[in-house]
């Protein structure tokens, strides 16, 4: 078992220097200054959060109401010993192991039209990573309707085993990006397979990285 107390980890400066070497000084400066809210910490959100933490995003605000279930382990970034924990707590621990100097704010909360404007007030970029279509629509409508200054990256359509290349990133409007194939619905009896969910999660995470890099085309 990994024990933090017994292990010497690199300093903040050492980790930052390693990121700078990989990403370049300019990009790392932007990544470090960025703040991203991730709404929903399932197959999309947990993988997106890990990608962004590894890239050195300075602040992540992670939110989910649910607990880790055995049915999540086929695609979500949790461990069997975390079953029953709140996803927000479990992922917080994992992110801290990956990126100890990332500022992580985790909240066990169910987002709704009432609390969204307050909960998402701080971050520049918002990631929609829910699983239920009506909840996806609720968040997107709420953010686009009430928070026009935010960038929003949403995911829709990643179930089943259809080809990887059906999954794309579209720029719907100036500040609204949509990833996925748009059609593969879990309600059509298709399961969610790690590889295909990760492709969509990677599209979303990369859309966030490009927004941070001020590269807005798709």
Partner 1 sequence: MVKINGELFDKDGKTVAEMLTDMDISGQRVAVELNEEIVPKAKYGETVLKDGDKVEVVRFVGGG
Q: Which stretch binds partner 1 (CB under 8 A): 55-63, 84-92, 124-132, 210-218?
A: 124-132
State the Cα angle at 49 between 78 and 117, rounded to 5°. Answer: 115
Q: Which stretch binds partner 1 (CB under 8 A): 6-14, 78-86, 132-140, 161-169?
A: 132-140
Q: Is there binding between residue 197 and partner 1 (CB under 8 A)?
A: yes
Shortest CB 122 distance to partner 1, Å = 21
Listed in sequence order, the DSSP H helices in the chain are 12-23, 25-33, 43-55, 87-98, 116-119, 133-146, 194-212
Q: Is there binding between residue 163 and partner 1 (CB under 8 A)?
A: no
Q: Is there binding between residue 158 and partner 1 (CB under 8 A)?
A: yes
Shortest CB 141 distance to partner 1, Å = 5
Question: What is the distance in angstroms between the CA of the first residue and the CA of the last residue of the chain?
Answer: 42
- Interatomic CA distance for residues 63 and 82, integer angstroms: 17
CA 177 to chain centre: 14
Q: Is there binding between residue 66 and partner 1 (CB under 8 A)?
A: no
Task: Give 6's Cβ-side CA count (13 Å radius).
Answer: 3
Q: Is there binding between residue 211 and partner 1 (CB under 8 A)?
A: no
Q: Is there binding between residue 56 and partner 1 (CB under 8 A)?
A: no
Joined together, the tokens standing for residue 90 give: 């479990």
Residues binding partner 1 (CB under 8 A):
40, 42-45, 129-134, 136-137, 140-141, 144-145, 154-159, 172-174, 176, 178, 180, 182-187, 190, 192, 197
């Amino acid at each position: 078992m990994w024990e933090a107390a017994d292990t010497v980890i690199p300093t903040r400066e050492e980790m930052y220097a390693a990121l700078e070497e990989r990403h370049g000084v300019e990009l790392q400066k932007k990544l470090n200054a960025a703040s991203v809210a991730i709404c929903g910490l399932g197959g999309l959100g947990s993988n997106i959060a890990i990608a962004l933490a590894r890239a050195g995003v300075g602040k992540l605000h992670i939110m989910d109401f649910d607990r880790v279930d055995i049915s999540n382990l086929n695609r979500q970034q949790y461990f069997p010993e975390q079953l029953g924990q709140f996803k927000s707590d479990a992922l917080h621990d994992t992110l801290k192991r990956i990126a100890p100097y990332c500022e992580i704010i985790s909240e066990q909360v169910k987002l709704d039209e009432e609390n969204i404007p307050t909960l998402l007030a701080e971050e520049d970029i918002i990631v929609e990573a829910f699983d239920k279509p009506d909840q996806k629509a609720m968040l997107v409508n709420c953010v686009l309707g009430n928070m026009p200054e935010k960038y929003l990256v949403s995911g829709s359509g990643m179930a089943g085993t259809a080809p990887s290349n059906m999954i794309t990133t579209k720029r719907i409007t100036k500040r609204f990006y949509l990833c996925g194939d748009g059609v593969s619905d879990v309600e059509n009896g298709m399961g969610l397979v790690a590889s295909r969910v990760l492709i969509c999660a990677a599209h979303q995470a990369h859309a966030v990285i490009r927004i941070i890099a001020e590269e807005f085309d798709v």
